[in-house]
Amino acid sequence: MLQRFGARKPMIWGCMINGLSIILLSPANLLLSQYKILAIIGYTLFGIGLAFYATPSTDAALSSLPAAQTGSGSGIYKMASSLGAAFGVAISAAIFTALGANDASVRWLEGVITFAGRQDNLAVREAAIIAPGFNVLMVVMAILSIMLTVPSRKAETAT
């Protein structure tokens, strides 16, 4: 796909697939049997989205470097990737923890969404719906940054 479409399209597709997977993993208002099906589909799509994104992203980051700087560039790219993942997990977990610890924090969500099953864990379930919203926001920002910084296939062939 990288050779056929360039780096930009597969990276955007990977982000969109990951965004869809996050949305599929978010409905904590369902019964466990229903959620398991969405979780299997969501995690499968998450892996597919990462596969779409990883190779074109690495190629786009390292292809323009001179051979002598490829090792350093690869290390910087991996460090930035790991650091970004760590910040993403930390922020998502902080949002989830803050909202899940207080029963009244997202009580407004009960009027919007009907919760099936147990009702004694609503704060945690509400937090599990809201916290991934941050991840979806990050996916949208990633798509925008790809569109602004990664050249399209037409721009690559014109140079």
Are 143 and 20 contacting, i.e. CB atoms less than 8 angstroms apart?
A: no
Enumerate residue ranges in the chain where pLDDT < 70.
106, 153-159
**Which residues, 6 or more positions from 29, have their beta carbon under 8 angstroms from its beta carbon?**
113, 114, 115, 116, 125, 129
**Model pLDDT, residue 47:** 95
**Model pLDDT, residue 21:** 96
**Model pLDDT, residue 87:** 94
At residue 154's C-alpha, the angle toward residues 61 and 148, to 5°, is 50
- Closest by CA to 156, choosing from 45, 63, 28, is 63
**Which residues, 6 or more positions from 51, have their beta carbon under 8 angstroms from its beta carbon?**
14
**Model pLDDT, residue 156:** 54
Which sequence spans correspond to the domains of the chain? Answer: 2-63+70-153
Query: What pTM, to 2 d.p., does this model score?
Result: 0.83
* Residue with tokens 């959620």, as numbered in its chain: 35
**Which residues, 6 or more positions from 26, have their beta carbon under 8 angstroms from its beta carbon?**
128, 129, 132, 133
